[in-house]
Amino acid sequence: MTAAGISKEKTRVLKQSRDIVLLACFVLAATAAAQRPPGPAGGTADAIRIPFESYTLPNGLTVLLSPDHTTPTVAVNVWYHVGSKNEVPGRTGFAHLFEHIMFTGSGHVPYGLHDKLTEGVGGNNNGTTSNDRTTYFETVPSNYLESALWTESDRMGFLLDALDIAKLNAQRDVVKNERRQSVDNQPYGRVNEILAKTTYPPSHPYSWDVIGSMDDLSAASEEDVKNFFRVYYAPNNAFLAIVGDFEPAQAKAWVTKYFGDIARGKPVTRPTVAPVTLGSEQRLVYEDRVQVPRLYIEWPSVGEKNDDNFALDVLGAILSGPRTARLTKALVYDQQAAASVSVYQGSNEDVGDFLVMITPRPGHSLTDLETAADGIIEKLKTDGPTAEEIKKATAGEELAFVGSLESNLGKAMQLCDGAGFHGDAGYFRTSYQKSLAVTAADVKRVANKYLTKGRVVLSVVPLGKTDQASKPAESKKVSGEPMPRPEVER
């Protein structure tokens, strides 16, 4: 898939596959944990080692270098501290739109050359946009590192030289088609949008979807888009990570050569993000072009910078995933009332959400599943998890974390996330240690603190089947047209 195609957005829709991926991890990790000799609880800060050095150019660009000569490849990751939360109502979707525009060519790199210098030599490239950051990356054979740095620097410093209204309109249409395919015409595709609009006030920077609205995309002028680039796509708002088979001295010379003369941008004013609590339960029903209803229960929680996110991660792993997880065991295996259960903590930079998603089997109602799930969660809140549950859950989290560091690109992402969100490229060590140090008391505490009556309960039902919605309390219908037939994006 080319970078100008469908973006791999780091959104909650993609996170819903987390339990599927982690299922194998939990099985392997639980076995390893059972065989592990007794020792002190929690990991140590030096248990995970990624040798790196960090320095900053005079123009503000933070550079992270991590040599690893295991394979003759190198990953380059350019991480901009801008996402959909930096937009404003009426001008949403700009961050994601720029993810596409950045692959249309720049002042000295015509359209298509970037692909030839990456995919054309056996490598790859892409980009992703989230609420909080936009990142562009390539993995190439080691001898193509210089060309990767050149192309990335050219679109940082000279993108606007090649951007005109024709290119903007072409990418605007691509993003609209992406929205049609991944949101408007996708079964359950509007769930994230509905949950965000219900959880956050309209002016809150996390209340709109990363992909933006059709109206805002249509209204974006050429100058609007260019001004967005000038503010956020500057070296002082960016992090460059190089990980893999390279010589640091040569890499530093190339970084200075290609990035050193790019002008520093103006200081970035970041939005003030207030934590959110819901005073009461919000119940919604959305009619969709689906065959099977689905139940979503979401609580506002915390973001990356709050340590409670580690205990909430473990709580999610205790509730769903392997067949011994509480909701999975009870609803999928014992009662055989649910086809699937997924629970996870979604941590953005500033805020987060804890989500339970349940798909019923034929003959079982969303009402019964909600009641059963609530009972299981309340018991956990009262009794807390067992030591064995903590052991299995943290082992699974550990295996998933270590797995994310297997590739050069995975390490580059970790370094940039740490530097961008926490001011410390080595934050992966802290994250690893805190994740493994979660206790049963921690999990019980966060369950009682965040899984309260202040939540959103959304029933997605087939068109004309509102009677299939969960009915513990009076619900209101979400306004909106039925989804049209799917369209295929090029």
Provide CATH code, domain 50-259.
3.30.830.10
44 pLDDT band (50/70/90 cuts)?
low
Q: Which residues of 241-262 are buried (b: 16+ CB within 10 A; e: fewer)?
A: bbbbbbeeeebbebbeebbeeb
Quick check: 450 and 299 in contact, CB under 8 A? yes
Spatial strand order in the sheet of 124-129: 53-56, 62-67, 238-244, 73-80, 134-141, 124-129
Looking at residues 145-164, what average pLDDT do you find?
96
Which amino acid, one-letter code, is at 318? I
pLDDT at 348: 96
Q: Compare 334 and 5 and report the one with higher pLDDT.
A: 334
| Ranges 1-5, 217-221, 461-465: which has the least confidence | 1-5
477 pLDDT band (50/70/90 cuts)?
low
- CA angle (98 as vertex; 94, 100 as ends), nearest 5: 125
Q: What is the pLDDT of residues 175-215, one digit of tens each?
A: 999 999 999 999 999 999 999 999 999 999 999 999 998 99
pLDDT at 388: 97
The stretches of 239-307 forming alpha helices (DSSP H) are: 248-259
Q: Compare 236 and 47 and report the one with higher pLDDT.
A: 236
Output helix, strand, coil percentages for the chain, rounded to the nearest 5.
Answer: 45, 15, 40
Q: What is the pLDDT of residues 419-459, one digit of tens each?
A: 999 999 999 999 999 999 999 999 999 999 999 999 999 99
The three-class DSSP label of residue 419 is helix
Q: What is the pLDDT of residues 252-276, one digit of tens each?
A: 999 999 999 999 999 999 998 989 9
User: Please, which residues have CB within 8 angstroms of residue 216's CB and are 6 or more apart in sequence?
Assistant: 90, 91, 92, 93
Domain ranges of the chain: 50-259, 282-477
48 pLDDT band (50/70/90 cuts)?
confident
**461 has which bridge partners?**
287
Dihedral angle of Cα 145, 150, 152, 155, to the nearest 10 degrees: -170
The three-class DSSP label of residue 397 is helix
Quick check: 363 and 342 in contact, CB under 8 A? no
Q: What average pLDDT is seen over the chain?
A: 88
- Phi then psi for residue 167, to 5 deg, are -65, -40
Strand pairing of 134-141 and 338-347? unpaired
Q: State the CB neighbour count (10 A cutoff) for residue 434.
A: 17
Quick check: 394 and 438 in contact, CB under 8 A? yes
**74 has which bridge partners?**
140, 244
Looking at residues 237-257, what average pLDDT do you find?
98
Q: What is the pLDDT of residues 166-177, one digit of tens each?
A: 999 999 999 999
Q: Do the domains 50-259 and 282-477 sit in the same CATH topology, yes or no?
A: yes
Q: 21 pLDDT exceeds 90?
A: no
| Alpha-carbon separation of residue 6 from 94, 127, 167, 291, 465 (angstroms) | 16, 10, 17, 26, 32
| Ranges 10-19, 64-73, 181-190: which has the least confidence | 10-19
Looking at residues 223-243, what average pLDDT do you find?
95
Compute the distance between CA of residue 252 and CA of residue 236 in angstroms, rounded to an integer.
Answer: 17
pLDDT at 258: 98
Residue 331 has what DSSP assignment?
I
Looking at residues 115-140, what average pLDDT do you find?
97
pLDDT over 70 percentage in the chain: 87
pLDDT at 406: 92
Q: What is the pLDDT of residues 369-394, one digit of tens each?
A: 999 999 999 999 999 999 999 999 99
490 pLDDT band (50/70/90 cuts)?
very low
pLDDT at 39: 37
Q: 278 pLDDT exceeds 70?
A: yes
Q: What is the pLDDT of residues 345-375, one digit of tens each?
A: 999 999 999 999 999 999 999 999 999 999 9
pLDDT at 473: 55
pLDDT at 225: 87
**396 has which bridge partners?**
none
C-alpha R_g of the chain: 23
Q: 242 pLDDT exceeds 50?
A: yes
Q: Where are the beta strands (DSSP E) in 72-204?
A: 73-80, 124-129, 134-141
pLDDT at 22: 40
End-to-end CA distance of the chain: 11
Q: Tokens 């898939």 appear where?
A: 1
The three-class DSSP label of residue 53 is strand
| Alpha-carbon separation of residue 206 from 25, 83, 249, 263 (angstroms) | 31, 10, 41, 30
Q: 395 pLDDT exceeds 60?
A: yes
pLDDT at 481: 41
Provide CATH code, domain 282-477.
3.30.830.10
Which amino acid, one-letter code, is at 431? S
pLDDT at 46: 62
Compute the distance between CA of residue 477 and CA of residue 479 in angstroms, rounded to an integer.
Answer: 6
Looking at residues 223-233, what average pLDDT do you find?
92
